[in-house]
Structure 1
Amino acid sequence: MIQHFNFKPLYENAQLPGWALTFFYKQQRYSAEYKKDGGITFIGEAPSPNDLANVEKMIHELMLFHVYD
């Protein structure tokens, strides 16, 4: 489960899509960018390949709830 999920716009003009994300997963802190096309680029270390699809799914769900709702 993702914990302490935070996001903020990448650009000063909040109308432009793109967000900086930070969150904890399995007691590890991660940073990423969420692109306008739904792509996720991890900054630094990314979750293990076994967890990556699950983490990306959770991020998409959180972004739909917080940003696009």
Structure 2
Amino acid sequence: MLQHFSFKPLYENKQLPGWSISFFYKQTRYAAEYEPDGTIKWISEAPVDEEAVKKMIHELMLFHVYD
């Protein structure tokens, strides 16, 4: 489970898509950029179980941004 999930727009002009995201997973902090097409570019090292984490991120972004 992701904890302390936060996101903010990459650009001041909020019309331009893209978000900076950060969260804790298994007591480790991760940071990434979430692109409008769903691509995740890791700023920190990617988690070991990256695919499971990506799925959780997509679900949270759908709920918070696109809903």
Asked if these proteins are the same fold (TM beyond 0.5), I'd say yes
Normalising by the smaller structure, the TM-score range is over 0.9
Counterpart of 2:61 in structure 1 is 63
Q: Return the offset for 1:54.
A: 0.5
Percent identity over paired residues: 72
Tell me how many residue pairs correspond in the alignment. 67
Aligned to 1:12, the other structure's residue is in SS state coil
Amino acid at match of 1:61: E
Tell me the TM-score normalized by structure 1: 0.95
Unaligned runs of 5+ in 1: none
Tell me the TM-score normalized by structure 2: 0.97
1:19-43 superposed Cα distances (whole Å, 9 cap, x missing partner): 0000000000000000011100110
Aligned to 2:15, the other structure's residue is in SS state coil
